[in-house]
Amino acid sequence: MKTKGIPKFVIYLLLIIFTSVPLFFSIPVPGQPVDASADAFKALMNLKEGDEVLLASDWTGSTRGESMANMKSILRILMRKRAKVAIWSTADPQAPRVAQDVMAEVAKEHVEVDKQPAYKRWDDWIIAGYYPNADVAINAVAKDIRNAFSTRKETNPEGKLKSIFESPVMKNIKTVSDFDLIIDVTASKTSDFHVQFLSAQKVPLLFAVTGVMVPETQVFYNSGQCVGFLGGLKGVFDLEQMMENGLNIKGADGKVLTGNSKVTDEIPGFKGMSNKGSGTKYYPTLHFALLLMIVLIIIGNVEMFKAKKGAQK
Amino acid sequence: MPVEKVGWWSNNIPQLGEQYWDTGWFGLLFTLTFVIFIVFNVSRARKTDLFIRRVAGLNAIEEAVGRATEMGKPVLMVPGLSDPVNAYAVQAINICAHVTRIAAKFSNPIILCAYSASMYTLAQEVIRDTYQSEGVPERYDLDSVRYISDRQFAFAAGVSGLILREQTAATFFLGEFYAESLIFAETANSIGAIQVASSTEATQTPFFIAACDYVLIGDEFYAASAYLTREPVMVGSLVGQDWAKMTAIAFILMGVASQSIFVSSKAKLTEKAFLAAGGNKLSKEQSADFKDKFKAETKTAKEEETKLFNIQKFFKPGPPPEDLDMQREKLPQEPEAAPGAAGANQ
Amino acid sequence: MKPSDFSIWSLDPTKGTVFYHVIFAIVIGFAIFFALMNAPTQVRRPLTWFLTLLSGGVFVVAAYWPKPINFDAKTQKPLNAIESGSVFLADTNNVVGSFTQILAAFMLGLGIFSLLRIHLGKIAKKKTDWGFSIVLLVSMVSMITFGYWDYTTRQANKLVDYDVQSNWKLENMGRDFLFDKLLQQMDAAMFSIIAFFILSAAYRAFRARSVEATILLGTALIVILSLMGIVSAYWDGAVTSLAGDSANKDLILNFKITEISNWLRNTFQTPAITGIRFGIGLGTLSMAIRIWLGLEKGGK
C-alpha cells in the first residue's frame, strides 16, 4: 500500500498532527470576508423584529464541523434580530433532531451569556419536522405550504397540541412568498432544489453550504438566484468576524477591521456578545492543513522532476 | 378607473391561457422545444445513420473487464446513490448492464452494490436479464447484486470493505456520487484496481479525476448508452440534446449582445439626459450634490437592470398595468397584491 | 369549505367511513398484486408502460396546465373547468409523489432480505470474516428494535418532554446510544476520512506532467492560497502598498490574490460548472422522456 514517494502512513500522520495540534492554541488569523459571505451577512442583518424566516436544516453529525458552526452563527443573528423561525428538513430523518439540539444550545446561550430575553418555542420558533423525498417536498412547499405543512403540530404554552399554523411564527404565512428570508443550511443537494422550486417565488434565498459545495453554489450566487452564501469553514469564519467587528465599520484607529469592496454598506455587528465559535477556532487549523497540502504538492512535483531527470540520464 | 363589463376578460373567470400571464410561459416553451428536438431526432435516427464521436472512458470498459479476467478477480460496480430510483440511476444501471454483458462473456464474477432498496430490486432484475440475454443464465450469482445500506457513510464503509476484501481488479463508479466518491476511488486506487468513474455531481468529478483512470465528465455519462449500443433511440436523443445546446448557445449570445448594446447605451442616454437637463449649469455645490444624487440613481438603475436582466423579461409581462382595460375586476376576497400571485389552494 | 373537501384524493379523517375505504383499498391492492404476479410477461410489459405513462403524465400535465388563479368568492370552489383541472392536478401531484415513498418502503423488505441471505449464508458456511457478518446482523436487529420501541413510546406519550433526559426510559436511552452516540459519530468519522484521502490524492495527482496539468496546478495553488487569511492579508497588503497612488493603480490592484482567485472562479469555474450542469440537465431530460414514453429498454 505504498506510493512511490512518501508512504501514505506518514502523510496521514502528518495530517493528524497538523490538524490537531493547532486546536490547543489560540492563534489570531486575519481575514476579510468574501463577497458571498458579506452579502449573506447583509441579508441576515436586514431582517427586522418579527420577520418570518424559513430555515431548512439539511445536515447531520457528519458535516457538523462546517454545518453546525454555520447553523449556530445564523441562529445567533436570528435570535438577536428576534425573527420568527420555522425549521424543517428534507435531507435526513436525523436532521430535525440535530437542529433542535443546536437551537436549544444557542437559545440557552442567548439568555445566560448574552442576557437577552428568552427565545421561546411556539412563540419565536417551531420545528415543522422531516419530509422524505427532498425534491417532491420542496416542490410541495413552494406550491402550497399550507397544504404541505398541514399535518404538523407543536405543543403550545398551554400544553396542547396545535397546528403550527396557529403559532405566532406561521399564523401570517399563506404562501411561501410570505417569508422574508429562506435559509438552507445544507450538506446535500437540497440547495439545488431550493433554487429549482423557490427562486421564482420572489423570496431571497440564502445558503450555508459545506466547503466542497462552494463552486456549485457560486453559480447560483453569480446568477442572483441566491442573495448570498456561507461556504464551508471560511464562510463561518467570515460571518463570525462580521458579527464581532461589523462590516465596513471603522475601529478606534480609523481603520476598517472587517470590510468588503463589493458590499459597501456599513453594518454594525454585535460587539461584546458571544460571536466567535468554531469558525474562529478551526480557521487556523485549516491554514495548517492547506499548508501541508501545498508542501506535499511541491514535494510530489520535485520527486517527479528528479525521476524524469534520472530517466533521461 | 371603473372597469366596464365588456369583452371576454371582464367576466371574472380566467380564460384558457390567461393564467400564463402570471406564471410565465417562456420556461415551459423552452423545455417543450427541447423535448421536440429530442423526439424529432429519435424518429430521424431510425431512418438515417447519425454520427457520434468517440468517448475515451467507454473504450476502457472492455479493457478493464479483460484485465480483471486475466487476474481472476471480480469486477465491482456502484450505480450511484440515487434514492429513490431516478433518471441517473436508470442510466447508471444501463452502463452496468453493458459491463455485466462483457463480464458474462469472459465468465468473470461481478459485484454490484446497491445503495437503496429500490435500486437493489431494479439492478437484480436487469443483471439477471443480461445474463439470460447472453445465453448464460447459470452464471448469474444471486449474491452478486447486494444491498449494502441506505446511509451514505455506512454505504461508503461497506463498499470500501468489499473492495479491500475481494481485491477487485476493476471498479466502475457511475451515477450520483457525493462526499463518498473519494473514499471509494482512493480505496480502489490503493489496491491498484483499474477505475472508470462518472458523477452527475459537478463538484465530485474532480475527486474522481484525481483518483481514477477514466472519467466521464458531465453528459458523457448520458452519451454512454448511445455510444455503447448505437441504438437509434439513444443516438437520436443524443443528437436532439446537441440541438438543444445549440439553441441555448444562441440565446446566450443574444443575451450577451443585448446586455452589451442596450444596457450600456441606455446608461449613456441617461447621462446625456442629465447634461441636457442642465446638470452642469448649476452652482458648484448644487451641481456636486445633484451629480452625486444623479450618479447614485443611475448606478442603482444600472445595477437593477443588470440584476433583473433575464430572458423572461422580454417574454413574461408583469400583471397588466392599472390603466389598461384588460384588468379583471377584483374579487371580494382577493388581496390587493398582483392577481393570482398567491397560490389558490388556501 | 376547503379545496380538499372536493378532492377525490382526500377524505375527512374524522368520519368513520375512512376505515372502510382503507380496507377496501388494501383488498383491491392485494387482488391487483396477485393478478399481476400471475399475469404473463406479454400482459405485464404494456401494463407497466401504461402505468409509467400515466403517472409521469400527471407531472407533465401539471407543469403545462394553467395554474389556478382564484376560487369563487361564495362557494370557494374553482370557477370553471380549467381551474378545476388545475386544482385536481395539484392534489393528484401530491398523491402520485407519495407513491414513490410507499413503493420504496415495500422494497426495503427486499433489501433486508438480501442482507440476511448473504450474511446468514456466510455465517452458516463459516466463510472468511464471518465474524463481521454477525456484527452486522446484531447491529441491524438492535437498531430496528430500539428504533421502533423508542418511536412507539414517544407516540404513546406525546405530552412527555423527551428533550429532558430524566424522562428517558431504557428504549430512549438505547436509541440515543445507538443512533446519536454511535451512528452519528461513525458517520462523522467516515466523513473526516475524506481529508486524508484528499491529501494523498493531491500529493499523487497534482503534478505538472503536461501544460494543462501545470495550468491546473497553478490555479489550484492560487485558490488554496486565497483561502488562507494570513496569505491573502499580506499579499493583498503588499499589492495595495505597491499600487499606492501610481497611475496604474487600478491595474496593479487586480493582482491582489483575492481578486485573482475571484476572477478564476467567476470567469472559468462558474461557466464551466454551468455548462456541465446544463449538459447533465439535458441528458436527464432526454432520459426522462425515454423512460416516460417507454423507449428506454433497461439494460438492453
Per-residue pLDDT of chain C (300 residues; tens, 9 = 90+): 444 455 677 777 677 778 888 899 899 989 998 998 888 888 888 888 898 899 889 888 888 887 766 666 666 667 677 778 888 887 788 788 777 778 877 888 888 888 899 899 999 998 888 898 999 999 999 999 999 999 899 888 877 878 778 888 899 999 889 988 898 889 889 999 999 999 999 998 888 889 999 999 999 999 999 999 899 999 999 999 998 888 888 888 889 999 999 999 999 999 999 999 999 999 999 999 998 988 876 544
Q: How far is B266 from chain C (nearest CA, A)?
A: 25
Helix locations, C157-207, DSSP H: 170-175, 184-205
Would you call B203 and A216 a contact, using CB atoms and an 8 Å cutoff? yes
Together in a domain, C66 and C8: yes
Q: Which domain holds residue B246?
A: 16-33+241-315
Rg (CA), chain C: 30
Q: How far is C283 from chain A (nearest CA, A)?
A: 17
Would you call A188 and B202 a contact, using CB atoms and an 8 Å cutoff? no
Together in a domain, C138 and C119: no
Q: Is the four-CA dihedral B85, B86, B88, B92 of positive or negative sign?
A: positive
CA contacts within 13 A on the Cβ side of B76: 31
List strand residue ranges (DSSP E) for chain B, in order: 75-78, 110-114, 145-147, 170-175, 194-199, 214-215
Over the stretch A218-263, which tens digit does the pLDDT of each residue have? 999 998 899 999 999 999 999 999 999 999 998 888 888 888 888 8
Would you call C202 and A293 a contact, using CB atoms and an 8 Å cutoff? yes
- pTM for this prediction: 0.83
Arithmetic mean of pLDDT over chain A: 90
Together in a domain, C29 and C110: yes
Which triple of cell numbers denotes residue B328?
Answer: 379583471
Together in a domain, B103 and B211: yes
Would you call C63 and B28 a contact, using CB atoms and an 8 Å cutoff? yes
Question: Which residues lie across from A155 on neighbouring strands?
Answer: A161
Q: How far is B317 from chain C (nearest CA, A)?
A: 16
Together in a domain, B211 and B247: no
Together in a domain, B284 and B139: no
- On whether residue B255 sits in a domain, the answer given is yes
Q: Which domain holds residue C225?
A: 206-292
Assess contact for B95 and B225: CB atoms under 8 A.
Answer: yes
Whether the CB of C32 is below 8 Å from some CB of chain B: the reply is no
Together in a domain, C21 and C109: yes
Q: Show which of C83, C109, C127 is a domain's final residue.
A: C127
- On whether residue C169 sits in a domain, the answer given is yes
Would you call C110 and B114 a contact, using CB atoms and an 8 Å cutoff? no
Would you call B84 and C104 a contact, using CB atoms and an 8 Å cutoff? yes
Chain C residues inside the 8 Å CB shell of B113:
none
Together in a domain, B130 and B78: yes
Q: What is the mean pLDDT of residues B8-37?
A: 69
- On whether residue B108 sits in a domain, the answer given is yes
Instruction: Name the phi and psi angles at C81, rounded to 5.
Output: -65, -40
Report how far apart, in Å, the C-alpha atoms of B240 and of each of A2, B31, B53, B226, C10 are: 47, 12, 15, 12, 41
Whether the CB of B288 is below 8 Å from some CB of chain C: the reply is no
Assess contact for A176 and A148: CB atoms under 8 A.
Answer: no
- Which of B100, B219, B235 is the mutation pick for testing C, counting most C CBs within 10 A? B219
Question: What subunits touch chain A, counting only 3 or more CB pairs under 8 A?
Answer: B, C
Together in a domain, C254 and C278: yes
What does the pLDDT read at residue B321?
Answer: 38
Together in a domain, B294 and B155: no
Residues 40-99 of B with CB under 8 A from C: 42, 83-84, 87-88, 90-91, 93-94, 96-97
Would you call A175 and B190 a contact, using CB atoms and an 8 Å cutoff? no
Whether the per-residue pLDDT at A36 is higher than 90: the answer is yes
- On whether residue B49 sits in a domain, the answer given is no
Chain B residues inside the 8 Å CB shell of C282:
34, 219, 241, 244-245
Question: What subunits touch chain C, counting only 3 or more CB pairs under 8 A?
Answer: A, B
Q: Give the CATH number of the domain where residue B98 resides.
A: 3.40.50
Together in a domain, B248 and B209: no
Which triple of cell numbers denotes residue C106?
Answer: 415495500
- Which of C286, C287, C291, C296 is the mutation pick for testing B, counting most B CBs within 10 A? C286
CA contacts within 13 A on the Cβ side of C28: 6
Together in a domain, C123 and C151: no
* Nearest residue to C194 (alpha-carbon basis) of A98, A29, A210: A210
Residue of C nearest to A33 (CA): C229
Q: How far is B25 from chain A (nearest CA, A)?
A: 13
Together in a domain, B88 and B196: yes
Together in a domain, B197 and B251: no
What does the pLDDT read at residue A19?
Answer: 92
Over the stretch B118-172, which tens digit does the pLDDT of each residue have? 899 889 989 999 999 999 999 999 889 999 988 889 999 999 999 999 999 999 9
Instruction: Name the phi and psi angles at B133, rounded to 5.
Output: -70, -20
- On whether residue C197 sits in a domain, the answer given is no
Assess contact for C286 and B241: CB atoms under 8 A.
Answer: yes
- On whether residue B225 sits in a domain, the answer given is no
Over the stretch B136-147, which tens digit does the pLDDT of each residue have? 999 999 889 999
Q: For chain A, which residues make up each domain, given as ranges?
A: 50-233
- On whether residue B3 sits in a domain, the answer given is no
Residue type, B243: W
Together in a domain, C138 and C86: no
Whether the CB of B12 is below 8 Å from some CB of chain A: the reply is no
Would you list the DSSP string of C82-131?
HHHHHHHHHHHHHHHHHHHHHHHHHHHHHHHHHHHHHHHHHHHTT-TTHH
Together in a domain, B196 and B273: no
Would you call C203 and A297 a contact, using CB atoms and an 8 Å cutoff? yes
- Of chain B, the percentage scoring pLDDT greater than 90 comes to 40
Q: Which single residue is written with the C-alpha cell 471498479?
A: B171
What's the DSSP call for residue B331? P
Nearest CB to C70 within list B189, B205, B331: B331
Q: What is the mean pLDDT of residues B38-54?
A: 87
CATH 3.40.50, applies to A50-233: yes
d(CA B45, CA B52): 12
Whether the CB of B337 is below 8 Å from some CB of chain C: the reply is no
* Nearest residue to C19 (alpha-carbon basis) of C9, C28, C29, C11: C11
Q: How far is CA B73 from the centre of its chain?
A: 36
- On whether residue B63 sits in a domain, the answer given is yes
- Which of A18, A280, A293 is the mutation pick for testing C, counting most C CBs within 10 A? A293
d(CA A32, CA A10): 34
What does the pLDDT read at residue B325?
Answer: 36
- In the sheet that holds A84-89, the strands lie side by side as A125-130, A84-89, A52-58, A181-186, A205-209, A228-231
Helix (H, G, I), strand (E, B) or coil at C144: helix
Q: Show which of C81, C101, C127 is a domain's final residue.
A: C127
Together in a domain, B23 and B117: no
- Which of A203, A212, A218 is the mutation pick for testing B, counting most B CBs within 10 A? A212
Counting the structural domains of chain C, the total is: 3
What does the pLDDT read at residue A272?
Answer: 87
Chain C residues inside the 8 Å CB shell of B36:
none
Together in a domain, B167 and B258: no
Together in a domain, C269 and C286: yes
Would you call C274 and A219 a contact, using CB atoms and an 8 Å cutoff? yes
What does the pLDDT read at residue C70?
Answer: 62
Counting the structural domains of chain B, the total is: 2
Higher pLDDT, B329 or A264: A264
Together in a domain, C18 and C117: yes
Whether the CB of B190 is below 8 Å from some CB of chain A: the reply is yes
Together in a domain, C170 and C111: no
Arithmetic mean of pLDDT over chain B: 78
Q: Show which of C101, C127, C153 is a domain's final residue.
A: C127
CB burial of residue B155 (10 Å; 0-12, 13-18, 19+): buried
* Paired sense of beta strands A181-186 and A205-209, if any: parallel
- On whether residue B9 sits in a domain, the answer given is no
Question: Which residues lie across from A207 on neighbouring strands?
Answer: A184, A229
* Nearest residue to A39 (alpha-carbon basis) of A185, A251, A239: A239
Together in a domain, C24 and C112: yes
Chain A residues inside the 8 Å CB shell of B201:
189, 216
Together in a domain, C71 and C150: no
d(CA A55, CA A71): 10
Together in a domain, B266 and B166: no
- In the sheet that holds B170-175, the strands lie side by side as B145-147, B110-114, B75-78, B170-175, B194-199, B214-215
Would you call C276 and B38 a contact, using CB atoms and an 8 Å cutoff? no
Q: Is the four-CA dihedral B42, B81, A196, A211 of positive or negative sign?
A: negative
What B252-259 contacts at long range (C-beta under 8 Å, 24+ apart), as own/partner pairs, is B255/B309, B255/B311, B259/B306, B259/B309
d(CA C281, CA C31): 39
Nearest CB to A147 within list B84, B191, B345: B345
- On whether residue B7 sits in a domain, the answer given is no
